[in-house]
Amino acid sequence: MERGSIVRKILIANRGEIALRIIKTCREMGIETVAVYSDADKDLPFAKEATFAFNIGEPPVNKSYLKTDTILEIAKREKVDGIHPGYGFLSENASFARAVKNAGITFIGPDPETIEMMGDKIVSRKTMMEAGVPVVPGSGEGTSTLEEACKLADLMGYPVMLKASGGGGGIGMVRCENEQALAKSFDSTKTRAKAYFGSDEVFVEKYIQNARHVEIQVFGDNHGNIVHLFERDCSIQRRHQKVVEESPSPFLSEQTKQKMYETALTAAAAVQYKNAGTIEFIVDEEENFYFLEMNTRLQVEHPVTEQITGLDLVKWQLLAASGEKLPLSQNDIKQQGHSIEFRLYAEDPKTFLPSPGKLSMFEWVASPGVRVDYGYVSGTTVSPFYDPMVAKCIIHGETRLEAIEKAVQFFDELNLEGIKTNAPLFKEILKDEDFRKGNYSTAFLTEKAFAVK
């Protein structure tokens, strides 16, 4: 089958909450699902809820979820029409997307060329600059020597961020206050980049003080239509990884938002974007915004957008992959109310160190406006092999204040035992005056006393 054929049976090359979330939409659409799981995940809901499920190996990711040949073999044997990569794992792996396509199966995502281009931070910066999209002042080229990095850092002024070109997910970046710090981190960042992303190319970028991290959800089809689905403010982070996301942003003016939507559409059009994608921007205190990167997949935090628009983004992905036009035009896409997502992690709420183990109890009170996308249920084990996310708790209210109050009640009533989680951190955040006023930047958790690092 070629790209654009109707999808009736798909393989989900992922695990946990996102695999389960995809299964739910497929079920509503009458699409059969094939789950693949590692030894560690055999008891998880996604492996049980899929129409078909196959064990693909041992727990470490390179022996299971990254085994492209095994996954493709199963896809062919089971005669699926499409493969949904979820997020992480193979979702932004251009050669996997290409192999799927070459096997005659629809890759539920953008074209392999787009993934390739946006996956390289240096190439994506250049592409965006050429399209007239503002980017963070930076080297624009990879730097191979410390001397070169120092020279560039001097030009843009400290502090700077030293980043791995092939990096992502908050790993492989270091903030450097001065030349000594840059010198100290240079070699280790290169080593880490090599070990983690297979390339030791790094670059320096201006560090923007008191920045906010705001992203725009975009969506494209095979007919050249591209729309945006508003913003998500993802500034509450620990170790450069998102913890809380919300929409609308409590900080941006209407005028800036409109400008960001337009810029995101320009950016997406510059790469003829198809399917779900996200343009991430850094916003400074004066509401100047700069392109950071484009994520060529469904985001972890996509439910925030679904709750304010009433749309099912996985359904849109499946329709777009089937060659259909986007269900709505820009003017028909409305936002309503306010939604906040909390990423419930198996980790120490103060040190943020992982806390895997058996989740002996996990129950919450269901009520209007409360959505929980979970990967684990009571009695299952959070293994140390994958990310620490137990569930995403998405709370919707008519106003931001209402969403906050509902969230307070949700975490008060949450019954979770067996492992440490960051639920106590959310209670602190929800009480915090600055958070309640919407007055926060990416430094929020570092500056607050209720978190250690």
Partner 1 sequence: MREITSSMAGTVLNIMVEAGQEVTAGQEVLMLESMKMEIPVESEASGKVAEVKVNVGDFVNEGDILIVFE
Q: Smaller CB distance to partner 1: residue 183 or 353?
A: 353
Q: Smaller CB distance to partner 1: residue 83 or 419?
A: 419
Cα–Cα distance, 393 to 412 (Å, whole number): 13
* One of 352, 410, 435, 440 touching partner 1 (CB under 8 A): 352
* One of 110, 388, 397, 418 touching partner 1 (CB under 8 A): 388
DSSP states along 329-394: -GGG----SEEEEEEEESB-TTT--B--EE--EEE----TTEEEEES--TT-EE-TTS--EEEEEE
DSSP single-letter state for residue 30: T
Q: Which residues 232-251 are close enough to bind partner 1 by CB under 8 A?
A: 239, 241
CB of 453 closer than 8 Å to CB of 238? yes
Between the alpha carbon of residue 72 and those of residues 3, 39, 99, 100, 142, the distances in Å are 16, 19, 8, 7, 34
CB of 378 closer than 8 Å to CB of 390? no
Minimum CB–partner distance for residue 195 and partner 1 (Å): 5
Q: Smaller CB distance to partner 1: residue 49 or 348?
A: 348
Minimum CB–partner distance for residue 279 and partner 1 (Å): 23
Minimum CB–partner distance for residue 170 and partner 1 (Å): 8
Q: Which residues 175-204 are close enough to bind partner 1 by CB under 8 A?
A: 188, 191-192, 195-196
* One of 385, 411, 440, 444 touching partner 1 (CB under 8 A): 385
DSSP single-letter state for residue 134: -
Q: Smaller CB distance to partner 1: residue 188 or 210?
A: 188
DSSP states along 180-205: HHHHHHHHHHHHHHHHHHS---EEEE
Q: Smaller CB distance to partner 1: residue 190 or 302?
A: 190
Under the binding rule (CB under 8 A), the answer on residue 354 touching partner 1 is yes
Active site residue 297: yes
By CB under 8 A, how many residues form the interface with partner 1? 22
Between the alpha carbon of residue 151 and those of residues 11, 144, 146, 164, the distances in Å are 49, 12, 9, 18
CB of 1 closer than 8 Å to CB of 106? yes
The single residue of 15, 125, 297, 400 carrying the catalytic annotation is 297
Cα–Cα distance, 121 to 168 (Å, whole number): 9
Kindly indicate which of the ranges 107-115, 277-285, 350-358, 416-424 contains the residues binding partner 1, using the contact rule CB under 8 A: 350-358
Under the binding rule (CB under 8 A), the answer on residue 418 touching partner 1 is no
Minimum CB–partner distance for residue 384 and partner 1 (Å): 4
Under the binding rule (CB under 8 A), the answer on residue 452 touching partner 1 is no
- What is the radius of gyration, based on Cα positions, of the chain? 21
Structure tokens at 301: 């935090």
Minimum CB–partner distance for residue 288 and partner 1 (Å): 30
Q: Smaller CB distance to partner 1: residue 144 or 188?
A: 188
> Maximum Cα–Cα distance for the chain, whole Å?
59
Kindly indicate which of the ranges 27-35, 71-79, 352-360, 390-398 contains the residues binding partner 1, using the contact rule CB under 8 A: 352-360
Minimum CB–partner distance for residue 270 and partner 1 (Å): 30
Cα–Cα distance, 223 to 447 (Å, whole number): 47
Minimum CB–partner distance for residue 354 and partner 1 (Å): 4
CA atoms within 13 A on the CB side of 146: 14
* One of 57, 137, 169, 327 touching partner 1 (CB under 8 A): 169
3-state secondary structure of 277: strand
* One of 85, 347, 369, 393 touching partner 1 (CB under 8 A): 347
* One of 57, 356, 424, 438 touching partner 1 (CB under 8 A): 356
Cα–Cα distance, 410 to 339 (Å, whole number): 14
Q: Smaller CB distance to partner 1: residue 263 or 295?
A: 295
β partners of residue 374? 391
CB of 299 closer than 8 Å to CB of 213? no
Minimum CB–partner distance for residue 45 and partner 1 (Å): 19
* Catalytically annotated residues: 297
**Contact footprint for partner 1 (CB under 8 A):** 60, 62, 169, 171, 188, 191-192, 195-196, 239, 241, 346-347, 352-354, 356, 384-388
